[in-house]
Structures are given as C-alpha cells and as structure tokens.
Structure 1
C-alpha cells in the first residue's frame, strides 16, 4: 500500500513510478506566448480540444493503480457539524480573482495543478538543486532535525525537499512527467509541455510561481516495496512553495512552516505504526489527518520539541483550523475546522499535563491516547 497524504485543500494524486533524476534545463518555448494566450481568450474551446487530442483518452496504468485505492466512502452527515468558509478559502478566492473559468479548465486539462507534485514524487531528491528548499529553508531544516530526534520512529531515511511551480516553464521537465506519469508519447508530450509553458507565461500565473500550483505539502512512503517493478520511491516530505507563501500572506509566516512540516512528519509516524488501512473513506482520512494535527501540536508546544509559547500555540492552531474542509463525502476529507482545532488543543493540553514535565510519549502511546479521545474530537457540534 502506498500513501500520499496532502496537507492543503488542494488534494493532488501521486505518481507511483520511479525514474532517475535529471538536471534542470533552461526553458525552451515554441511558438508565441501571446498567440497561445490570445487563442485561449478568443477560442478557448479550440485550445481545450487541442489539449484533449494530445492527452490520452484513458488513464495510464499508474493512474489506474491509484484509482484502485479509491473506494466508495461511507458518507459523513455534514448537517451534524459546524462547518463554513475559512480564512484559507477566502485567501484562495482572492489570489485567483483575475482568473477566468476558462483559465481553470485549461490549466486543469494540462495537469498544471498536479505536475509539480508528480515531478517531486517521481524525480525528487534532497540532493538535487531543482528540489531545494527556497523560502523558510533554515527553519524547515532545523525543525526537521528536531522532529527526527523527538519521535521514536525510524526516520533517517526520510528526505525533505521542495516542489516549485516554475518547473512548468521548462518544457523538458514537464514533458518527461507527461510521458512517465500520464503515459503521453514523446511528441505529444513535448507539444503539451510547450503549450503549458506558453500559457502560464501570462502575468497572472506568475510564470508558474502562483501559489495555487504548489498549494500543497505531502508525506510519502511505499513501505520499501518495489512499485510495479519499477523500483522503490524513497520516503519523503515535499513542501510546496505555494503553501508556505499562502500562510506568509495570511500573517502566519513565523509559525506555519514548522506546523506544516510537523503535520507531515506526523504522517510518517503513522506509516511506521501502520495506521493506514486498505479502504479509503472520509472517516479514515479524517482520523489520520486529525492524528497528524495532534502530533504536530504536541511536538510544537513540547519543551523538547519547538517549545512554543501559548501565543504561538494559538497561531498554529489557527493554521490547522483555517485548512479544515467540509467535504464530508470525500475520501480526502481532512476534518472540519473545529475538529482540527480541537485535535490541536487536546495535544497541547496533553503536553501541558505531562508529569514529569518534559516527558515525551512514545509514538505508540501518543497514538493510543489519541484513538481513545478521537470520538470526542469528531462528535457532532451543530447547534
């Protein structure tokens, strides 16, 4: 069983294939950027038809493998829970205010919201400059070192790296992802890659650096298994530039990097404890997401973790709160904002009540206590 656990509201799928790394190439565009943008504006249907012609009509074997992991969920009754718009959702709307419906459709058809994630999963390496952390690199590296000492799990094989949206400006990089992940023949992949590079050159997309393209972070483990005979994808945590930028713009820049990384490391705790079952459902994802929230809050507030004070604890609880969702019937349901905040508060109180002060629970004991309190964390709260 393989797992990709997205932190952000943008839930992107994983490409379960392995391939060697490649040096970053210089962007090479074909045609005119103005022409592609003009085509999208004057005849978006024609551009979408061109993309559809180039894309495979059926999913590749890699995508079918992922689809087998998605099963009909047992629906959670959303009417029983308080759940509404969050600060994070408002930020997303504001940041794309100048995007049209056609923009979203064309970008989606080109796979633009998935490509950076796929590339980091398939080709990423912490030793490759193409996946180097940029913003918040120092604090992320420091937090990562502390996390590995804090939790009593095997973690020396976890790589920490970044994904960057500006990789889509480089047709050589996007073409190889189209080929490897989407199963597109090279000629068609090259054409799609050039179309994408030209389309995102429009100022509103910031050359791929618009945060929506990397509004995600994820933890991954294949449990050391060979993936379809193509090799083993190593354990990793991938931080998106977009998710870090989003929280900086919302005013959480001094705490969000640590909170997001600690959350993703919480998923690696789960991988080591084999918490993930074979059936995908809203309840199953909510359980693991709330556990990761709690694990992060425990580490961030603990004297032997990041030792954050109450003011900063409140801040990172807001980080978790603002990224909750109301997708009760989605296999990617992360928990409502209230549930995520309750999980963080519970973990903070657990740390505060520890005796002797400073004692760190084992990952297994922390999880046992979380499982015991989970029914209270997810109890209906609608008035």
Structure 2
C-alpha cells in the first residue's frame, strides 16, 4: 500500500517519539496586551473560559474580512465551540507534521508477548532531562492552549526555514559537530545512487523561541504560514507562545532555548513526492526537500557516550529515507500500519549502517560499528499498536547489524551496491530481523 505523505513524514524520522510524547510585523509588536497564562494547559472550564475571552479580545482587534471574522467569532461563541475548534486545529496541524490525525491507536497485529522489549538508555536520559525542567514551563511547551503548543511552532519552523549550506549551519554545542555533519552529508550524497543535489541539511532547534527581534521575526513567518492552514490555530499559537516568552517561561528550561528536550529527534522529507492536499499544504508553506538533525539528539549521544558515531548513524538513517523516497520504497503489501512503519525504519537502519561500515562510506572500525548498533538499539520502541512504531530495540540492533555484515561480506570492497540491490537483500532478511525473540 502507499501511505500519504503526512503519514510517511511521521515515519521518516529516527524515533517513534516527539517532544510531546515524553511524559516532549514582529511577533512582539503584533501581540496584544491580553497575555495568556504561561501554564497554558486547558484543564478546567475556568481555564477554557478565560482563554476564550483572550481569544475573542484578540479577534476583535484584528483587521479581517467579513467571512473570516464570522468564522473566528463562531469559534469563540461558547466554551464548547472553542474547545471543538481547538481539537480540529490540532488535528490539522499534526496531520501536516508527524501524524495523520489524532488518537490513531490501532489494534496491534504484533503480539507484544512475542518480543523482548523494554526501556533503553535513551528513555532514562529523557526522563532525567524532563525532571530538570520546571513543570509549568514543560506544560506550556507541550500543551500550549488547547494543545496548540510551542512544540508545533518549532516543528513547523524546521520545515519552513530557508536552508543554509551545511558548513554554515551550527550543529552541536558551539558548533562542535558542524564539520563532521557537513562532511558526512557530502559523503552520503556521493555514496548513494540518487540525485541528492536538492537535499538540504537543516538544524532542528528552538532558537526561534528566544526573546530577540530576530527570533520574533522568524515566529511571525511561521504564524503567517500556519494562518493559511488554520487562522484559529495561528491565533492561539501566537497567544500561547508570545505570552510564555514575555513572562519568562523559558527560564524554567535549563539552558533556555538550547535545552535538548526541544529537539530530541530528526526527520527527512521530500515534498516532491507528496500528492493532493499534502502537496498543496507543503507548497503553500514553501517546504523543500531536507533532513533535519535535532540539536537535542546530538547532545544526547554525547551524554550517552556514543558521540560522533551516533550523530553519523542518525544522519545516515535520515539520508536513507531520502533514498527510499527516490526508489519508491515506502510502498509495501503490509497492511498493518505499525508493522509497515517498522519495515521502513528498519530498512533505513540497515541502509544507514551499510554506509557507515562500507569502505566507501565512513569505514567504521569494529569498536565504532558496535557504537553504531547501540545507537539504533537505543532508539527502538515497544509501541506495537502505534502506527509510528519504529521497531523494538533488538530489531533495530539486528537491522543495523545486517547492514554492517552486508558491507563487510562484499568480496569487492571497492564496490557500492545499488540501492535497489540493497533493498532486495533486505526484504529477504526482514523476517529474520523481525522474528519473535522472547524467551
């Protein structure tokens, strides 16, 4: 089956988690004085009523055409209408990002009891990072108003920002990983048999949340873009984000906008393969083909002792998704979404490690190869019923191990296999990679 791009985008990422899943004119000039509480999670009738009043006050001061004003006033007419409009807006924005809707749990086709699966070092690291964040600040970032949160703004900015050359983009603390990311990206473009000239490498970070004129201008661009999808969502995001910034809510995050929990993920997207409404939305926002590397992810690998190898492994995984886009490898006969997604992600693990171990790729030594395998083990998950399931830790380890073995077993070490040949071999090996392994 061929899934729509909104679905494929969710699965062209390194892990089956988002920041909200962990439990992760200038804007200032145009923000009204009617600020919203930084603790913006709407949990009571009083919260919803107060937020609705702020929304209505904001709308009353806007210069709108009659049809738009009628629509927005209807959304603010009652608490029920306001809440309903919020649910629609969240679903609409998430559908253009990392989900194809809200609450998409499915009946598991896989039996969790058949697989060995449990928390990894990544899970422990995330738990520790969240524990250091002020709960009110964390609620503001992950919940916002009616679920329209700063998290969504950061993700949309990562899609919309204009790319720079990799060497002109800062990766890692104080740019410590920039040269390596740029070099590896260039090596990937030369390694695989696709045209990678149109693929950009961008930073996934939260710098647009800073209280600076430059960041405010960037936020204004995103608000304007989102308004083309949902005017209601754009207004609530503006009220939520700007009030939090002005009230100093970011002080609750150690390191401010550089806190790693803002960007513990990475993704790849190729909008040229989108169709219908997905393509129209991405074109309207000016989204171009890219790989986004999370600054928080780079920090995490350093903290877990996987450092340079982890960074390269993730970048190779994301570039493998670009290969899948070009080779149409998202198409599968597997009907269960969780199982289909796991296939795609395990393939990217295998392709990525084939590159990192190959003599024409990163040529990792034995110790570094083990770190590569540990990287993919750590981003495994146990979400057997989640359409975004990426494979268990053991499965991801085995997929990466398969890619390493493929590279090492080639009789001609000077030859790089065509991507479709790697895929054909992987499809034959997939049943063994995903075989039940519980004792």
Residues 188, 316 of structure 2: 8 Å contact kept: yes
TM-score, reference length from structure 2: 0.74
Which range is displaced more, 156-165 or 194-203?
Answer: 194-203
**Residue 8 of structure 1 corresponds to which residue in structure 2?**
15
Higher deviation after alignment, 225-234 or 281-290: 225-234
1-side partners of 2:288 and 2:325: how far apart?
Answer: 13
Contact 1:219–1:267 under 8 Å retained in 2: yes
What residue in structure 1 maps to residue 123 of structure 2? 89
Indicate yes or no: 2:250 matched with 1:201: yes
Change (3 A) 1:68 1:146: closer
In structure 2, distance between residues paired with 1:356 and 1:364: 18
**Equivalent residues in 2 for 1:220-239, closer than 5 Å:** 220-223=269-272, 227-228=279-280, 230-231=283-284, 233-239=287-293
1:155 to 196, 200, 204: 196
- Report SS of the residue matched to 2:268: strand
1:375 aligns with 2:375: no
- Alignment pair present for 1:311 and 2:367: yes
1:364 counterpart SS class: helix
Q: Deviations over 1:142-183 (max 9, x none)?
A: 001111111111211101111221211234433543453372
1:375/1:125 CA distance change after superposition, 3 Å: same
CA contact (8 A) 2:36 2:240 kept: no
Higher helix share: 2
Name the structure 2 match of 1:59: 88
Q: Pick from 169, 172, 184: which aligns with 1:143? A: 184
Aligned to 1:19: none
From 292, 295, 298, the counterpart of 1:244: 298
In 1, the alpha carbon distance for the partners of 2:106 and 2:359 equals: 40
CA change 1:73–1:30 in 2 (3 A) is closer
Displacement, 1:58? 4.0
How high is the TM-score relative to the length of structure 1? 0.84
Q: 1:315/1:225 Cα in 2 relative to 1: closer, same or farther (>3 Å)?
A: closer
Q: How much does 1:82 deviate?
A: 0.3
Question: CA–CA distance in 2 between the matches of 1:343 and 1:364?
Answer: 17
Contact between 1:317 and 1:345, CA under 8 Å: does it hold in 2? yes
Counterpart contact for 2:380–2:390, Cα < 8 Å: yes
Superposed counterparts of 1:1-383, under 5 Å: 1-2=4-5, 3-4=8-9, 5-11=12-18, 40=39, 54=55, 56-60=85-89, 61=92, 63=94, 73=106, 75=108, 76-99=110-133, 102-110=136-144, 111-126=149-164, 132-133=170-171, 134-169=175-210, 170-181=215-226, 183-184=230-231, 188-197=236-245, 198-223=247-272, 227-228=279-280, 230-231=283-284, 233-277=287-331, 281-383=337-439
SS at 1:8's partner residue?
A: coil
Question: The residue matched to 2:253 in structure 1 has which SS?
Answer: helix
Residue of structure 2 in register with 1:17 after alignment: none
Distance 1:370 1:188, change over 3 A: closer
Equivalenced residue count is: 369
Which ranges of structure 1 fall in alignment gaps of 5 or more residues? 14-21
- How far apart are the structure 2 equivalents of 1:243 and 1:49? 38
Separation in 1, partners of 2:150, 2:312: 27
- SS of 1:152 mapped into structure 2: coil
Q: Do 1:132 and 1:161's aligned partners in 2 also have CA atoms closer than 8 Å?
A: no
Q: In the superposition, relative to structure 1, how do residues 104 and 187 fare at CA in structure 2: closer, same or farther (>3 Å)? A: closer
Deviations 1:214-254 (A, max 9, x none): 11111001235572274463211011111111111111112
Counterpart contact for 2:346–2:396, Cα < 8 Å? yes
TM-superposed CA distance for 1:322, in Å, is: 0.7
Residue matched to 2:64: none
Equivalent position of 2:60 in the other structure: none
Asked if the contact 1:200–1:206 (Cα under 8 Å) also holds between the matched residues in 2, the reply is: no
- Decide whether the 8 Å contact of 1:28 with 1:171 is kept in 2: no
Distance 1:51 1:123, change over 3 A: farther
- Taking structure 1 as reference, are residues 266 and 247 closer, same or farther at Cα in structure 2, changes over 3 Å only? same
Q: Would the aligned equivalents of 1:120 and 1:163 in 2 still touch at CA under 8 Å?
A: yes
Question: How far apart, in 2, do the equivalents of 1:143 and 1:129 lie?
Answer: 11
Structure 2 stretches lacking a partner, 5+ long = 56-81
